[in-house]
Structure 1
Amino acid sequence: MIKTDDLALFVRAAALGSFSSAAREASLAPGQVSVAIQRLEEQLGIRLFARSTRSLKLTEEGARYLPYAEEALAMLREGREQLQGESRALQGTLRVAAPSDIGRNVLLPWLSDFREQHPDLVLKVFLSDSVADVFRDPVDIAIRYGVPDNASYVALPLAADNRRVLVASPSYIAEHGQLRTLDDLVSHQCLLYSLSGKTYDRWIFPAPEGRRQITVRGGLMCDDGDVARRWAVDGRGIAYKSWLDVRDDVVTKRLDVLLPEQPGELAPLSLVCPHRRQFSPAVRELHALLTARLGAMTNALHKPERTRVR
């Protein structure tokens, strides 16, 4: 009889491309994973992996079997959740990946409160601007900015109408002057952001003809969204940030929104999951919590009294 633990190790080894990585994730010795895969191969009568000293790849048979293994595990998980009922205490482990800025300054206290309300749940949080691969990385859900571009995973909206805004500190504005038009950006110190070797120095704005692109320059560049926000608060330049990232800074007057009548680029926030069957009670409850709280934050984006330059 095929063991579900063997199936789970097969799925993770295939995703991670390594027995050792799958073993570390499951707190097992690499040899235990190898034995589990061999046992599964013997029961199936096929070879699942082509092994070498430097690589681990699925065989053709293994690649064909993988989706069935994933579906079987998902069905078992869903059946267990149905039997337990959603009214019972949330249990198990929930691994969440989120961008550094909103993750650290907005989501972290909410996630901490969520875990406190469900003491039987183990919550693991990973903060990074590197985009988490929900199929290969050891995460259950990822919170992402941008329009989903991959139909192979499921994305649930958290803040669909969120946008970017131009912001600077009152001290920077006092020293360098107000922006009158978007064209003025080229003469200002703009805070640049880089990710995976790509520098985002072309800022996009909606325009009657479709969109307007402004190439900006600046002497400060980072690969962490929170660093750009901190530089802006410190008066180092102009940032083009998600409203969710800077909303509290604007409300507390650490930052002012520049050109408030100019709409910024759409920056929707979504909760991404590999498969709808992985929407466990914990994921569903967390999604509802985040949607409600983030929705209240984006409502302020459309209130002129909170976004005008002071």
Structure 2
Amino acid sequence: MKTEDLSVFVKVAEVGSITTAAIKLDISSSAASMAVKRLEEQLGVALFVRSTRKIRLSPEGEQYLPMAKQALDTLQQGLALVTEQKQSLHGELRMAMSSEMGRNLMRELLNKVQRENPELSLRLHVSDSRVDFYRDGVDVALRAMTKEAVKESQMYGFKVCNIPHVICASPNYLERNGEPTTLTDLAQHNALLYKLYDQTHNTWELINEGERVKVKVNSNRAVNDGDIVRRWCVDGEGIAKKSCIDVAGDLLSGKLQRILTGYHVPLTEMWLMLLSRHLITPAVRLIRDELKQVIESKRQRLINTYILTEREWPVSNEI
């Protein structure tokens, strides 16, 4: 049943003429007549009693008219509500994310969202430690995790994208120390490491021609902040294994250079996590959509400049 047909029916009942109703609705008389006919066929009753001179509601039409008006009013209210929420979000959103995401990608993205929605209040929890939704008072968290981990968490999640990683270094570092081309070479270089909960990630899992290998790297520094690892790498202090999302700008500008391209890092995934689907708000959906758009732009630029391939950064089919 078309909303337009209901509107024509109500207008014809109001003015008592198909021709007049058509003029007021800015449609042709034949289109108005067909709309009434379609509605009558769907309902299986005659809504009007017609004569050569006039048209009036049938008993069934009189019974149906108030319900048609109510249905149109409800649809209009729903449209107004959705439009208002889309145009200007409001309320408070409490969101958790890693330090690197917070300082870079999300800082810029949330600036844009809040400029367009000034009544939306943001409360951010930025830390590389795993957030506790209850203790930290968080509504939604941006996390790198697998689909299996999402299921085990017993929470609700939106998958945002796949996350490829690359091994990279600055041109300055490579000029001073040479570029490693094998894992044996890599062992002779200084790796910049990420640590969390006193666990230093000094074993890198890589894939070469379909075979997974683990290599222990040497390092003179580690930190519990992913953004500092990136900055150290740009400064020329060593080699790092970094998310393409985090270092896309550095790779595109030439501040960092991808190395050991024959070795690939297993994909991870980015998810927006909530305690319940009932906590999904227009603000959460907007941030998810904005994230997808911004990250897809980074993906396309890396692929178009041959830094990465489609196979290395596959599109996420999650909705």
Question: TM-score, normalization: structure 2?
Answer: 0.67
Instruction: Name the structure 2 match of 1:305.
Output: 306
Other structure's SS at 1:86 match: helix
The reply on whether 1:263 has 2:264 as its aligned counterpart is yes
Partner of 2:18: none
| Separation (CA, whole Å) in 2 of partners of 1:131 and 1:137 | 10
Distance 2:304 2:265 in 1: 15
Is it true that 1:133 corresponds to 2:132 in the alignment? yes
The answer on whether the counterparts of 2:96 and 2:124 sit within 8 Å (CA) in structure 1 is yes
* Other-structure match for 1:296: 297
2:121 corresponds in structure 1 to: 122
Conservation of the 8 A alpha-carbon contact between 1:257 and 1:307: no
- Secondary structure of the 1:248 match is helix
**2:53 corresponds to:** none
Deviation at 1:284, TM superposition (A): 0.9
Report the residue type matching 1:271 in the other structure.
L
Please say if 1:98 is aligned against 2:94.
no
What value does the CA root-mean-square deviation take over the aligned residues? 2.2
What's the CA shift string for 1:64-123, capped at 9, x where partnerless?
xxxxxxxxxxxxxxxxxx798332231110011111112211110110110111111101
Alpha-carbon shift at residue 136 of structure 1 (Å): 3.8
Which aligned pairs between 1:58-97 and structure 2 lie closer than 5 A?
A: 85-88=81-84, 89-97=88-96
**Paired letter, 1:285:** L
Letter in 1 for 2:299: T
- CA distance, structure 1, for counterparts of residue 210 and residue 172 of structure 2: 34
Measured in 1, the distance between the counterparts of 2:225 and 2:271 equals 19
Query: What is the letter of the counterpart of residue 256 of structure 2?
Result: L
Q: Which runs of 5+ in 2 are unaligned?
A: 1-77, 310-319
Task: Indicate the percent of aligned positions where both proteins have the same amino acid.
Answer: 31
For the residue of structure 1 that corresponds to 2:174, the secondary structure is helix
Contact kept in structure 1, 2:252 and 2:302, CA below 8 Å: no
Unaligned runs of 5+ in 1: 1-81
Tell me the number of residue pairs that the alignment of Structure 1 and Structure 2 aligns: 227
- d(CA) in 2 for partners of 1:93, 1:167: 39
Q: 1:102 to 1:158 in 2, by over 3 A?
A: same
1:275-302 Cα offsets, whole Å, 9 max, x none, are 1111111111111111111122123444
**CA–CA separation in structure 2 for the residues paired with 1:251 and 1:257:** 10
CA contact (8 A) 1:159 1:298 kept: no
8 Å CA contact retained: 1:256, 1:307:
no
How many angstroms apart in 2 are the aligned matches of 1:265 and 1:169? 23
Counterparts in 2 of 1:116-265, with a 5 A limit? 116-148=115-147, 149-151=149-151, 152-160=154-162, 162-208=163-209, 210-265=211-266
Contact 1:192-1:217 at 8 Å conserved across structures: no
**Contact preservation (8 Å) 2:150, 2:157:** no
Contact 1:94-1:122 within 8 A present in 2 as well: yes
Question: Cα–Cα, structure 1 residues 274 and 259, in superposed 2: closer, same or farther, change >3 Å?
Answer: same
1:139 alignment partner, SS class: coil
8 Å contact from structure 1 (residues 204, 213) kept in 2: yes
Q: TM-score, normalised by structure 1?
A: 0.68
